[in-house]
Chain A
Amino acid sequence: AQSVTQPDIHITVSEGASLELRCNYSYGATPYLFWYVQSPGQGLQLLLKYFSGDTLVQGIKGFEAEFKRSQSSFNLRKPSVHWSDAAEYFCAVDPTGNQFYFGTGTSLTVIP
């Protein structure tokens, strides 16, 4: 079955530490790939997206993500986490060009 998997429900990191959030998908072809962030009580904000080309994409707020076709993964990274990064992070894929499928999300806690 087609799916988007975020294996980590919750992650806690110290401020200033590096971060990696995992995302795997199972679709036949390479879909469009996205990472969104949701702060408490808010809508979703796009962090970055991958359509084609360079497999390392840069986004807003210092985030980056790497597409690995062989692993069907699109992991999100940040070298140094700030307290304001505490939020829920969603990976999403669009296999057809007009429908998104979201992962179940990873909740990030940042401790001082």
Chain B
Amino acid sequence: NAGVTQTPKFRVLKTGQSMTLLCAQDMNHEYMYWYRQDPGMGLRLIHYSVGEGTTAKGEVPDGYNVSRLKKQNFLLGLESAAPSQTSVYFCASTTGNSYEQYFGPGTRLTVT
């Protein structure tokens, strides 16, 4: 099993550009999450999904959109990137009844 994978690993965007980050898991997990990690801030939840076709806002959802069209994939979109979105983005998944989250390796995004 690959676990949780994230694509791409690195990306540089100019202000105003858009992009989509892909998270994929092969563990048949129901719940999936997107976090951002900033120095001194820990991880903050952006959006999450409790099942295929469902999404919900987390702690810091502004400027991001998500979609969960397939159970194994959770996409995070930035429609108009801003320098404040420079961060490391982590995806995670869990079965929903074990509450242990499995994390991907992260995507480092820089917005100039």
The chain A residues found within 8 Å of chain B, CB to CB, are: 4, 6, 9, 32, 34, 36, 41-46, 49, 51, 90, 92, 94, 97-105
**Chain A residues with Cβ under 8 A from B104's Cβ?**
43
Count B interface residues, CB 8 Å: 24
Instruction: List 17 A-B pairs, Cβ < 8 Å.
Output: A4-B42, A6-B42, A36-B103, A42-B106, A43-B4, A43-B104, A43-B105, A49-B100, A97-B99, A98-B50, A98-B96, A99-B45, A100-B92, A101-B59, A102-B44, A104-B40, A104-B41
Contact at A100–B33, with CB atoms within 8 Å?
yes
- Say how far B70's CB is from chain A's closest CB, in angstroms: 20
Total A-B pairs, Cβ < 8 A: 55
State A91–B37 Cα separation when bound (angstroms). Answer: 14
B31 within 8 A of A: yes
**Chain A residues with Cβ under 8 A from B44's Cβ?**
102
B90 within 8 A of A: yes
Q: Which residue of B lies closest to A105 (CB)?
A: B42
Q: Which residue of A lies closest to B4 (CB)?
A: A43
State A48–B111 Cα separation when bound (angstroms). Answer: 35
Contact at A44–B103, with CB atoms within 8 Å?
yes
